[in-house]
Amino acid sequence: MIKVRNKEHSINLIKQMGLNSMPQTVLNKTDVESIEKFFKKYPSSEYIIRDIFSPMGKYKFVKDYDECMNYLSTISADKFCISVSFRTIPNRILLGDIFVKDNMVTLNASTSETANHRNIYDSHQIMLNCELFDDKLWDVAGFEKLIDYIHKYNLYEVIVEFAIFKNKVGVKNDNVVIIELRSDY
């Protein structure tokens, strides 16, 4: 069973396990050189800056390095997470979180383009708590790819925040993108 202590630990586990994610890293806001390198290495139309210290912590979407630095000057934490945002990537099939233990599956998800991991519990389209072999699960677009991914990487007994795309995206070029792993926080 995977135990995840916090967001930074989740990011490190995702890398260590070789899971597909959007490019992301934890940096110190005073490490201006590394922040600038991230923007140069991963050009994108949008990034997300996240608080790594508190559940449901502050976050901000930014367009570029300058906007990032302006935002960082307003926060008190020294460390933060920066990721390439998947929000602007087209052809998203499903977004949500899933927990699989034995033959039981809890799936909270949405096919809406405006869904995110913060509003999914308010506006979820799919809320299932059932056995793995229940047809309702297999009727969810993208579920087969997701459950195959969970099985391949042994992501059982941990909450997996995910997004699934028609196209292959992310650092490992796959349809399934892992956003975060959660257990103890």
The mean per-residue pLDDT over the stretch 151-169 comes to 96
DSSP secondary structure string, the chain?
Answer: -----SHHHHHHHHHHTT----SEEEEETT-HHHHHHHHHHS--S-EEEE-SSSTT--EEEESSHHHHHHHHTT---SEEEEEE-STT-S-EEEEEEEEEETTEEEEEEE--TT--TTTHHHH-SEEEEEETT-HHHHTSTTHHHHHHHHHHTT--SSEEEEEEEEEEETTTTEEEEEEEEES--
Grade residue 123 by pLDDT with cuts at 50, 70 and 90: low
Domains contained in the chain, CATH given: 23-84 (3.30.1490.20), 92-182 (3.30.470)
Q: Per-residue pLDDT for 185 more than 60?
A: no
Closest to 117 measured CA to CA, from 180, 54, 168, 44: 180
As given in the structure block, the two tokens for residue 49 are: 């800056």
Grade residue 100 by pLDDT with cuts at 50, 70 and 90: very high
As given in the structure block, the two tokens for residue 14 are: 């995702």
Q: Which residues contact 105 (CB under 8 A, 6 or more apart)?
A: 98, 99, 128, 129, 130, 131, 132, 134, 137, 147
Residue 142: other Cβ atoms inside 10 A: 21
Closest to 160 measured CA to CA, from 95, 111, 81: 95
pLDDT tens column, 42-91: 999 999 999 887 666 788 999 999 999 999 998 888 999 999 999 889 99
In the prediction, which pLDDT does 125 show? Answer: 86
Residue 42 CA from chain centroid, whole number = 17
In the prediction, which pLDDT does 184 show? Answer: 64
Average per-residue pLDDT in the chain? 92
